[in-house]
Amino acid sequence: MNINENIKVLQQIAEQYKNRSILSLFDDDKNRVEKLTLSFEHMIGDFSKQKIDDEILKALENFAELCGFAQKREQMFSGAKINVTEKRAVLHTALRNSTSDDIRVDGINIIPEIKDVLRQMENFCAKFHSGELVGYSGKRLDTIVNIGIGGSDLGPKMVCTALKPYHKKNTAIHFVSNVDSTHLVETLTLCNPETTLFIIASKTFTTEETMTNAHSARMWFLNNGGNDESVGKHFIALSTNLKETSAFGINPDNVFRFWDWVGGRFSLWSAIGLPIALICGYDCFRELLSGGEEMDKHFHTKEMRHNIPIMMAFCTFWNTTINGMANHAVLPYDEYLRLFPAFLQQLEMESIGKFVVMNGNKVEYKTNPSVWGQPGTDSQHSFFQLIHQGTDIIPCDFIAAAQSHNPLGNHQQRLLANFLAQTEALMNGKSAATVREELEKAGLNEKEIEGLIQHKIFEGNRPTTTILCKKIDAFTLGALIAMYEHKVFTLGILWNINSFDQWGVELGKQLAKKILPELSNKADEPQHDASTNNLIRQIHAWSNE
Ligand code: F6P
């Protein structure tokens, strides 16, 4: 199959739709809302405000079939090494699979190992919550500091923030990721060394930022009452690298393992989720896994048109590759989901921000929109101007829950009124005639109307997806995350991209290693391009003042 030619066929279909509005598609099909609103437990995904219809969906389904989608999905679930450049299976789904007893990697059944680690997590949580885990002075550990970065930070941090209403009492949690010392120093001002548990979360246990922060945290601990013998009580690790965790001095009983078939940005379901289980309770963590597992079943079995992650991927593929839209905004109308866009930035952009296809050839079509967002309603007062009237069309996901965790007066109705109004405005727009009528009613004269009218027109016809949940609890959140994970997987198949490696992060890391000694040793002349050399000299000069 030639993907490029099939993309051209889809582009021809798009051309025929060029002058048709999303709104007109509702007139063409009276059942549009029923057809394009998909249900999953206490969640619905409404795709009717996207510029798609039966004909487009049929063409997208055909395209997915030509890409071998069903077979590739099967390969992922069954543990085939679909991450070909790293020769790894991709089995985050196995971590939340409570029904299968046998999933194999290299002939070894991984389910017993997964269950062992879950038991270890459960036991550790039980001891932590009962107060059995004490620090060097005998006081109960009550503060958690998770030190990690990327997938070893963003996922658990986002979930802990989203599930704040479920936090255990008298326990605090902090996340330190940035190698900027401010992050660690500021966090440590909130901690008592006698009662703090440091979790060093790193798949590789070699990541520069995490190891630098981990060593500095240990130094702080030793300088503030701790000693070498008590490091084991206060430092635990979540990692695949048992050699390095032991070199750091972590008690092997307090290393929570995972495996190379868990990608960093897909790892919150593994031992990397321990901070979630500690702050929200182990049962809550299991609920999160259950939500992910139910979404896996949905993704694995539902036909494409009724499959929420596939429909999300179709919309992004249609908007970006076929219609050239280069951005994608994610807008949770839920304050607890404020870190969801940041989490999705890694999940989506580290997965599919790539310019080569599976065989190493340069991709010949547009992929990977930039993903960004902020909670509503705050975002309405910052970048929504551009979403409504900018020259680029920016498809958006609007996410909200009907129920608030903190009901207060009519705040939730106001929030949801805004949530609904935005998608309505983006689709319907406002015509010149309506603007004129409004301005006339407001008593403006013709000259004033002429001066304003163009500025107040909304072209509309801007595609959005609405995800409406009953309430953001652990189960629903698990499903929501898994939904985006499978969207990413599906896009990888449609674009013929390996969604599971991340070679693009290497070069900067390599160069930073070279620059670091040059920053410490001022005597040597820096060996870079003229701009970088000049900046290094300026840093030397200013660091001394
Ligand atoms: O930024 C690259 C990356 O490898 C991510 O994929 C990963 O989530 C992050 O670094 C952290 O890696 P580790 O868990 O090994 O410290």
Catalytic site includes residue 509 = yes
pLDDT in tens, 176-196: 999 999 999 999 999 999 999
Q: Candidates 501, 503, 505, 509: which one to mutate for ligand 1, based on the most atoms within 8 Å of Cβ? A: 505
Catalytic-labelled residue, pool 8, 58, 381, 514: 381
By mean pLDDT, which of 87-101, 278-292, 358-372, 516-530 is the weakest?
516-530
CB half-sphere exposure, 450, CA atoms < 13 A: 3
Question: How many CB atoms are closer than 10 A to CB 466?
Answer: 21
483: CB partners within 8 A, 6+ apart: 40, 295, 299, 308, 309, 312
Does 81 participate in catalysis according to the annotation? no
Catalytic residue among 348, 350, 485, 518: 350
Q: Whose CA is nearest to atom 16 of ligand 1?
A: 202
Q: Which atom of ligand 1 is nearest to the CA of 264?
A: 8
Structure confidence by residue, pLDDT tens digits, 101-115: 899 999 999 999 999
pLDDT above 90 (res 520): no
Per-residue model confidence (pLDDT) at position 321: 97
pLDDT at 426: 98
Distances (CA, A) of 96 to 180, 232, 238: 34, 29, 18
Mean pLDDT along residues 2-15? 92
* 455 a catalytic residue: no
Q: How far is the CA of 399 from the centre of ligand 1 (A)?
A: 27
Angle, alpha carbons 388-391-396 (nearest 5°): 45
Residues 6+ apart with CB under 8 A from 299: 73, 307, 308, 309, 310, 482, 483, 486
Report residues whose beta carbon is within 6 angstroms of any ligand 1 atom. Answer: 149-152, 202-204, 207, 210, 264-265, 350, 502, 505
Measured from the Cα of 152, ligand 1's closest atom is 14
Which pTM does this prediction carry? 0.97
Residue 271 · residue 262 · CB < 8 Å: no
Helix (H, G, I), strand (E, B) or coil at 460: coil
Taking only the tens place, the pLDDT of each residue in 465-483 is 999 999 999 999 999 999 9
Angle (deg, nearest 10), helices 282-301 and 69-78: 150
What's the gap in Å between 206 CA and the centre of ligand 1? Answer: 9
212: CA distance to ligand 1 center in Å?
14
What average pLDDT does the segment 73-84 reach?
97
Grade residue 495 by pLDDT with cuts at 50, 70 and 90: very high
Closest residue to atom 10 of ligand 1, CA basis: 150
What is the tens place of the pLDDT at every residue in 241-285?
A: 999 999 998 999 999 999 999 999 999 999 999 999 999 999 999
pLDDT tens digits along 308-345: 999 999 999 999 999 999 999 999 999 999 999 999 99
CA distances to 285, 487, 489 from 480, rounded to whole Å, are 14, 11, 15
Q: With a cut of 90, say whether residue 373 has pLDDT above it.
A: yes
Rg from Cα positions in the chain: 26
Of ligand 1's listed atoms, the one at least distance from the Cα of 204 is: 15
pLDDT in tens, 200-211: 999 999 999 999
